[in-house]
Structure 1
Amino acid sequence: MVEGSNHRLGLFSSIDVFKGIPFADLPGRFEKPKPHPGWQGVLKATKYQKRCLQVTLMQTGTHGSENCLYLNMWVPQGREVSTGLPVMIYIFGGAFLLGASNDVSFMGKSLYDGEEIANRGKVIVVTVNYRVGTLGFLSTGDARGPGNYGLWDQHAAIAWVHRNIRAFGGDPENITIFGQSAGSASVNFQMLSPYNKGLFRRAISQCGVALSPWAMQRDPLALTEKVAERVGCPTGDKMMACLKIKDPVALTTAGKLALGDIGKGPVVDLLELSVVVDGDFIPDHPSKLFHNAADIDYIAGTNSMDGHLFAGMDVPSINQKRKPTSLEEIKTLLAGLTRDKGELAMNSSFSTYTQSWAPEPDQETVKRTVVDIETDYLFLVPTQTALYLHANNAKSAKTYSYIFSMPTRIPGFPSWMGADHAEDVQYVFGKPFSTPLIYFPRHRDVSGYMISYWTNFARTGDPNRGESGVPVTWPPFTGTGHHYLEINNKINKGSIKHDLRIRFVHYWTSTYANLPLLSTPLAE
């Protein structure tokens, strides 16, 4: 038995909110989650529980707890008690290093507060915690420390919802998982894992897939040995036994980003802790697992300038009005991203991205090209590849592609800025409605459109059909018609386009992919 709280919203509508329901027991160190033993009497579920132990945003300390496997839920109610509602489970992002189901206080409420989606789309929204950083993703690459503990946590939460959601008014046969960034890649991994067969029917990836270069570890054992040395453990046979008994805070700190290395190579190289092919939860390279998602409807997309966050750290001059960005800076960036294939790859990439430039390109063109390179490499091309693989393997499932291009709301950025990484989340969670004073009507328009498409899709598998009207019919992405929807506040018939950045998708997936490696990396 659990007791939540009820918020009145209108004459005949309210929302039941449950915070901090445990979906698994306190996890063992570097072990899969275990079932929760349950409780006597009624559990008061009215307060968010602690996040999983992690470094702080600026990497200066840690916060959270190892006892962190809890979920939160929003259930819309009308004149009668809800039954059979579609369910949407949200997986947060944060580079597999940080984040929480109730992260980022946004004008007094969590950014991931599910009230607006639940109420507007008449769906149940669930947000879940999972282990991050060293405790969630450290791996030896073999049976000693298989890794992917955070993915197992997400799976345990999905399985818990599937088992229990009927009691809250949900339909266990109509579950959609969705997420952003590392949460978006996690959604894709959950689709590809054989362990989720039959647990959910649909999935939405916002800015990240299993094929993203930051979503998988290149050399897990080397990273684990580095962490072991930092906390005073031997490498070799006794390493995992020693790591299991070390202070969890020390372990977490040992896995933080090396911020001092910014500028020594692309920032993406600092994101070392992530998913591994463990031969179990992820039995093979993700590109070979899309048959497991043949019956899972899928929406995937990216933001128009998703790579800007990374580009601004790799090439700071792009955000400085008075400082020009040089061609050398672009070449250095490309050399870092393509270092496995050497100078030939750098030159080939450089000519691909500068091909349409005027002989004397203006600074806006040069700076935008830097953002395009990082957006394509880190987000857009892997996402398009995942969409092709999903569409080609689909049996009953449908595939939908989008790009989100609402101009940035971050002050001080260049006037040409589109949507930066993570800027889509506020609209999906309806912030322009819940905190109207800091938004304009155009922001409420795009938020309304996204909630309609997302919740229609959760209800029917088709973003155009459901409880909510939409501004234009979004056609599916198929092997022949590569249609996508451009999402902003001006959606109309002209927002339906096809072959998104096809020249660059083709470059990275074919021309670049076929260039020879300098030498075989250890992880291959």
Structure 2
Amino acid sequence: MMMILRTLVGVAVFLDTVSAITLGVVHTEGGMVQGKNIRLGYYRHMDIFKGIPFADIPGRFEKPKPHPGWDAILEATEYRQKCYQMSRSMNELSGSEDCLYLNIWVPHGSSVSSDLPVMVWIHGGGFLFGNSVGHVSDSTLYDGQEIADRGNVIVVTLAYRVGTLGFLSTGDSSMPGNYGLWDQQAAIAWVHRNIHSFGGDPDNITIFGESAGGISVNLQAVTPHNKGLIKRAISQSGVALCSWAVNRNPRSVAEEIAFKVNCSTDNNMAACLKMTDPEQLTVAGALNTTGSPDHPVIDSLVLIPVIDGDFLPDEPSNLFDNMADIDYMAGVNDMDGFTSTAHDVPSIMSDQVDTLIEDLKRLLASYTKDKGAAGLNKAYTLYTSTWETTPKMETIKKTVLDIGTDYIFLVPTQASLHHHAAKAITKHTYSYLFSEPNLMAGRIYPSWMGANHFDDVQYVFGRPFTNTTKYLPQHCDLSGYMIAYWTNFAKTGDPNQGGLEVPVTWPKFTSTGQQYLEIHHTMKKGFVKQKMRLRYVHFWTSILPNLPTTHENEELVISPSTSLDDPQTGGPGFTTSWPNGVS
């Protein structure tokens, strides 16, 4: 009997293998494409398409144009080159102008899939580097196979111009900027027009991204150019209200780069820049990675989106009406600011108390500089209000990290969630805090290290399932939870409903309840919380902006008696304003 069963199973597996479930040749607007079909299990296959062009080779500092198409079947089996960029260390150039390609993962069960939800990934990298395939720490991290297979969704990853070629702007019509955002938009529009041929539902597209990709997701959701193209959006560690999301003085950056490449800064500047070698332009836009408490490295990110009157016709905070019909999920990591803040405040890695406290004050002074001593005094009082008379070194270090995380990521994310919840009356808003400790906690990083910037991405893309030597079973659990929440949300707009079981019911974020889910491998009911760091959000969005702006050199006086209005004890309520012109 066992012999018969084994024979039948063997025959079934053989038939499943030889008669693979596949899309075969797919017809797109540019021509026919064929990817690679792989077998994942019993009646589980996947078609993978790599390097499909969604636009032509772009003109220098121009919007992307439609691809002219091709005649023969395009073998979409190899990733294409990244867009021109400097390495993360800013000392090596790579890439090409011929870089506007995307990749698609399509899962199949017992029959060829149809009308699947679609998830489009936008990579991060400070708008300076990155690609559709992976990250410097993991060159194939953005492989969509695990999400697609486990969540039964189509996954798309795309490339876009970065650095000088993607975001240089003269601040006028001669070179308006935002070329990288237009590339993203062209890819989203291509997916909407063509994904039905790949078994996807063009009316159920979710865009998701991290860091600069999270900012891009929010900007793609608020621009009027994506009306009707996007159903849902997920921003991880980056939103449109971040201080580094928009450059409001792009002309000075253009003049600086023009000087470096020997172009004049007169009326001929734009014409000269457009004729300059792309490699030379990319090198000229390399980031100055020197950071200090007085000059945080986040302020050096200047090749970023601009308010161009077209893609962004107004301040992002004034455009949230455009995403009123889009479900939105956004969140941060609990120590998201570690990488940036440790770079700016190297004393955080030492045990010199006096130096660290002085650096903490200097960092706060940088973040509150427009408000002078009054802003600094209030900020310092707030962040040290829970300290003991003689604070422990660990307490001081965590406070420095809280300052960086709040300012760079957490507070603007909460503000964006409030904006969305206020506008999207019939759609859902969800907030999260990712707190899984860094894998190097207790080794490279301190034992108390939480989730650093970018730590969440490996779990969203299911890396623990494909790299069993690096991860523990608990990490597989966490990855499964996140894939379930993310793909459920993509299917239904509700992370709790969509076919995959989740460990905790995630409540909607509202302006009154302000509930959020803390994401960790030990998640249980107590991980549903509310009013994420409300006193600090209230300070940065309400108290600080309402202080008078000063440009005078005021004496720094830290007064321990300075008081703060606390919304939890009867002070002013939350307002969704944000310094640097966003309100």
State the TM-score, normalized to the length of structure 1: 0.97
Show the counterpart of 2:74. 43
Check whether the contact 1:91–1:187 (CA below 8 A) recurs between aligned residues. yes
In the aligned structure 1, how far is the partner of 2:179 from the partner of 2:212? Answer: 14
Greater mean alpha carbon deviation, residues 161-170 or residues 344-353: 344-353
Show the counterpart of 2:268. 238
Which digits, 9 at most, give the CA deviation of each residue in 1:392-429, with x for residues without a partner? 00132100000000001134111111100000000000
In the aligned structure 1, how far is the partner of 2:510 from the partner of 2:537? Answer: 16
Q: What is the Cα deviation at residue 61 of structure 1? A: 2.2
Show the counterpart of 1:345. 375
In the aligned structure 1, how far is the partner of 2:314 from the partner of 2:76? Answer: 39
Equivalent of residue 89 in structure 2, options 48, 53, 58: 58
Check whether the contact 1:325–1:366 (CA below 8 A) recurs between aligned residues. no
Q: What is the Cα deviation at residue 319 of structure 1? A: 2.5
Q: Does residue 182 of structure 1 match 2:212?
A: yes
In the aligned structure 2, how far is the partner of 1:502 from the partner of 1:471? Answer: 26
In the aligned structure 1, how far is the partner of 2:408 from the partner of 2:390? Answer: 28
Show the counterpart of 2:505. 473
Check whether the contact 2:353–2:393 (CA below 8 A) recurs between aligned residues. no
Matched to 1:466, the amino acid is: G
> What secondary structure is seen at the aligned counterpart in 1 of 2:366?
helix
> What secondary structure is seen at the aligned counterpart in 2 of 1:178?
strand
Which digits, 9 at most, give the CA deviation of each residue in 1:257-299, with x for residues without a partner? 1124556511111111111111111110001110000010000
Instruction: Note closer, same or farther for the CA distance 1:106–1:374 as it changes in structure 2 (3 Å cut).
Output: closer
In the aligned structure 2, how far is the partner of 1:334 from the partner of 1:218? Answer: 22
> What secondary structure is seen at the aligned counterpart in 1 of 2:119?
strand
Check whether the contact 2:86–2:93 (CA below 8 A) recurs between aligned residues. yes
Q: Does residue 15 of structure 1 match 2:46?
A: yes
Which digits, 9 at most, give the CA deviation of each residue in 1:192-219, with x for residues without a partner? 0000000010000000001001111131
For these two proteins, the number of residue pairs brought into alignment is: 523
Matched to 1:294, the amino acid is: A
Show the counterpart of 1:464. 496
> What secondary structure is seen at the aligned counterpart in 2 of 1:436?
coil
Question: Taking CA–CA contacts closer than 8 Å with sequence separation of 6 or more, which of the two structures ends up with the larger relative contact order?
Answer: 1
In the aligned structure 2, how far is the partner of 1:120 from the partner of 1:425? Answer: 16
In the aligned structure 2, how far is the partner of 1:48 from the partner of 1:258? Answer: 30
Show the counterpart of 1:365. 395
Equivalent of residue 412 in structure 1, options 444, 455, 466: 444
In the aligned structure 1, how far is the partner of 2:423 from the partner of 2:161? Answer: 31
State which structure, 1 or 2, has the greater radius of gyration over its C-alpha atoms. Answer: 2
Show the counterpart of 2:571. none
User: Superposition pairs for residues 411-490 of structure 1, below 5 Å?
Assistant: 411-490=443-522
Check whether the contact 2:291–2:344 (CA below 8 A) recurs between aligned residues. no
In the aligned structure 1, how far is the partner of 2:118 from the partner of 2:105? Answer: 10
Q: What is the Cα deviation at residue 69 of structure 1? A: 0.3
Show the counterpart of 1:354. 384
Matched to 1:65, the amino acid is: S
Q: Does residue 4 of structure 1 match 2:35?
A: yes
Check whether the contact 1:185–1:205 (CA below 8 A) recurs between aligned residues. yes
In the aligned structure 1, how far is the partner of 2:294 from the partner of 2:272? Answer: 32
In the aligned structure 1, how far is the partner of 2:507 from the partner of 2:65? Answer: 42
Greater mean alpha carbon deviation, residues 117-126 or residues 54-63: 54-63
> What secondary structure is seen at the aligned counterpart in 1 of 2:41?
coil
Q: What is the Cα deviation at residue 370 of structure 1? A: 0.3
Q: What is the Cα deviation at residue 104 of structure 1? A: 2.7
Show the counterpart of 2:569. none
Show the counterpart of 2:412. 382
> What secondary structure is seen at the aligned counterpart in 1 of 2:157?
strand
Matched to 1:285, the amino acid is: E
* Structure 2 residues without counterparts, runs of 5 or longer: 1-31, 553-578
Show the counterpart of 2:341. 311
Q: What is the Cα deviation at residue 433 of structure 1? A: 0.4
Q: Does residue 29 of structure 1 match 2:60?
A: yes
In the aligned structure 1, how far is the partner of 2:450 from the partner of 2:580? Answer: 38
Equivalent of residue 328 in structure 1, options 344, 354, 358: 358
Q: What is the Cα deviation at residue 477 of structure 1? A: 0.3
Which digits, 9 at most, give the CA deviation of each residue in 1:118-177, with x for residues without a partner? 000000000000000000000111111110000000000000000000000000000000
* Structure 1 residues without counterparts, runs of 5 or longer: none
Check whether the contact 2:206–2:234 (CA below 8 A) recurs between aligned residues. yes
Q: What is the Cα deviation at residue 436 of structure 1? A: 1.3
> What secondary structure is seen at the aligned counterpart in 2 of 1:462?
coil
Show the counterpart of 2:133. 102
Check whether the contact 1:318–1:324 (CA below 8 A) recurs between aligned residues. no
In the aligned structure 2, how far is the partner of 1:352 from the partner of 1:20? Answer: 50
Check whether the contact 1:219–1:522 (CA below 8 A) recurs between aligned residues. no
Q: What is the Cα deviation at residue 472 of structure 1? A: 1.1
Instruction: Note closer, same or farther for the CA distance 1:231–1:263 as it changes in structure 2 (3 Å cut).
Output: farther
Which digits, 9 at most, give the CA deviation of each residue in 1:36-60, with x for residues without a partner? 1111020010000000000112111
Q: What is the Cα deviation at residue 322 of structure 1? A: 7.2
> What secondary structure is seen at the aligned counterpart in 2 of 1:141?
coil
Show the counterpart of 1:74. 105
Show the counterpart of 2:229. 199
Q: Does residue 514 of structure 1 match 2:549?
A: no
Which digits, 9 at most, give the CA deviation of each residue in 1:227-286, with x for residues without a partner? 000000000200000000001111001111112455651111111111111111111000
In the aligned structure 1, how far is the partner of 2:502 from the partner of 2:289? Answer: 44
Check whether the contact 1:219–1:523 (CA below 8 A) recurs between aligned residues. no
> What secondary structure is seen at the aligned counterpart in 1 of 2:82?
coil
Which digits, 9 at most, give the CA deviation of each residue in 1:469-514, with x for residues without a partner? 0001101001211100000001111010000000000000001111
In the aligned structure 2, how far is the partner of 1:166 from the partner of 1:106? Answer: 34
> What secondary structure is seen at the aligned counterpart in 1 of 2:469?
helix
> What secondary structure is seen at the aligned counterpart in 2 of 1:88?
strand
Greater mean alpha carbon deviation, residues 412-421 or residues 513-522: 513-522
Q: What is the Cα deviation at residue 462 of structure 1? A: 0.4
In the aligned structure 1, how far is the partner of 2:549 from the partner of 2:123? Answer: 34
User: Superposition pairs for residues 77-88 of structure 1, below 5 Å?
Assistant: 77-88=108-119
In the aligned structure 2, how far is the partner of 1:218 from the partner of 1:307? Answer: 23
Check whether the contact 2:123–2:213 (CA below 8 A) recurs between aligned residues. yes
In the aligned structure 2, how far is the partner of 1:492 from the partner of 1:259? Answer: 41
Matched to 2:423, the amino acid is: N
Q: What is the Cα deviation at residue 358 of structure 1? A: 0.8
State the TM-score, normalized to the length of structure 2: 0.88
Matched to 1:21, the amino acid is: I
Q: Does residue 220 of structure 1 match 2:255?
A: no
Show the counterpart of 2:555. none
> What secondary structure is seen at the aligned counterpart in 2 of 1:453?
helix
Matched to 2:463, the amino acid is: K
User: Superposition pairs for residues 153-164 of structure 1, below 5 Å?
Assistant: 153-164=183-194
Check whether the contact 2:239–2:245 (CA below 8 A) recurs between aligned residues. yes
Instruction: Note closer, same or farther for the CA distance 1:479–1:104 as it changes in structure 2 (3 Å cut).
Output: closer
Matched to 2:474, the amino acid is: R
Q: What is the Cα deviation at residue 523 of structure 1? A: 8.6
